[in-house]
Chains A and B, each alone.
Chain A
């Protein structure tokens, strides 16, 4: 059972507390700022029961066959942007996920937490799965922690795990690569090419862009409908006044201050949240995950239903986060979006505003677990203090947008900056002379 999405709860709601009438009594539902729990909880209506959209399409573990010839030898070609049967060369794609599963149905009418079956809570289970090969009857063992497919030793056909494995490796939908390997290499070469002067020697010597990895990153796409209220103070510029004379002159500004509030219903469509904890942790002092985040957006509307053969030739990272764990991130995202929208509702406050209070009340949300394609080049920098720091250059596997981090040779950069600062020395000498002329 998945816990409902509650942006104010620091921890997931325990089972049995889903009853709307009992919400006020739940201490874990208390908002973080010590305001009246009962006030807040009364507006947070959660329906009983779990709303799950089954994206497994009834697929059991077994054969994923070519629709034309029945072969299990299926690969994926980014150039063709399609699954390809390596036996008969037939090309096809799975159905569009939004259309097949109704992920794009009206956001405004969402109530409670709806999620795809691939976004269900993770099941900790390291047991292996035994599949009976439908071709020859042999028992084939697959360790879901390691792979989603395996070849039957006897008849050589490929067996795939069914969609019900709950270890985070099977999403509701996938956005396949359309940027081929060569194009990604070219983008990375260009990106690094304009950053050669101050790059570390180790980076330049070890630069092998053909060694990029195509990785499917796990995300949760969230749709939500909510009420938001933002409050603060703003100032309107009225004019200026000057006191004093000649070189003792001072200018003062005159302003009218207001207390204001903006409240509206916000419907968010497809907000992506990183659902692998290591990737979600973005701290530029210790990692370069921000670079992967920066190559967004992805055209998530084109995502298709999941088929393990899309992974052929690529690797994937595992989702290790549940919906309940992402409540805080989702709420922060919604509030940031609300603030961005509200900043366009302040025509009067040309001196700016101080946002002071914000709150939201999510009526309904829909969560879809998805794999998004990223080409990743990585370089491990050996730092002078002995530590290691991984630099990524990422290419969006759909749009080709490239962003990355190149390690900087500090010595060279400091030297050049010092040289440039001599120019500042000269300017500094000239400044008072120039000022005196005027």
Chain B
């Protein structure tokens, strides 16, 4: 049974993977829909008076992945909840 799966699923998966990758790579090369000016890193800025706090909360022992669940560390353009400054 396992052999049947290997002989059907893997080749099918392989086809899909390669086919879709080739399609999207070429499509992007032509249409460049992901291109925009990286203003968030390129604009000339000055950062002064940095204040920080870091408070440990809890420890996790049984995490399945190497990176934090739902991390948006580098999604600079994604907006999160706006709060007023105190």
Contact = CB atoms under 8 A, between A and B. Distances in A.
Contact of A31 (B13, B42, B63, B82): B82
Contact of B60 (A43, A255, A407): A255
Contacts of A284: 31, 33
Nearest to B52: A262
A199 interface: yes
Interface in A421-438: 421-429, 431-432
Given A107-B46, A343-B76, A425-B14, A195 B30 contact: yes
B73 A33 contact: no
Contacts of A359: 82-85
Q: Which 7 A-B pairs have the closest CB atoms?
A: A428-B14, A424-B18, A421-B19, A352-B71, A428-B11, A40-B84, A424-B14
A221 to B, nearest CB: 10
Interface in A238-294: 238, 241, 252-272, 282, 284, 288, 290-291, 293-294
Nearest to A432: B6
A54 B36 CA distance: 33
The residue among A198, A352, A424, A425 with the most chain B CB atoms within 10 A of its own CB is: A424
21 contacts: A31-B84, A33-B83, A108-B46, A108-B48, A231-B83, A234-B54, A256-B56, A258-B54, A269-B43, A271-B43, A295-B37, A335-B79, A337-B39, A340-B41, A351-B68, A352-B67, A354-B72, A359-B83, A359-B85, A416-B22, A432-B7
Interface string B32-52: 110111011111111111111
Contact of A417 (B22, B57, B78): B22
Given A33-B82, A416-B22, A233 B57 contact: yes
Interface of A: 8, 31-33, 35-36, 39-40, 43, 107-108, 195, 198-199, 227, 229, 231-235, 237-238, 241, 252-272, 282, 284, 288, 290-291, 293-297, 332-333, 335-337, 339-341, 343, 345-346, 348-349, 351-361, 403-408, 413-414, 416-418, 420-429, 431-432
Given A261-B52, A267-B48, A297-B42, 19 more contacts: A35-B84, A39-B84, A252-B62, A260-B53, A262-B51, A267-B47, A269-B43, A291-B32, A354-B72, A357-B81, A359-B83, A404-B32, A405-B30, A417-B22, A420-B22, A422-B15, A424-B11, A424-B19, A431-B10
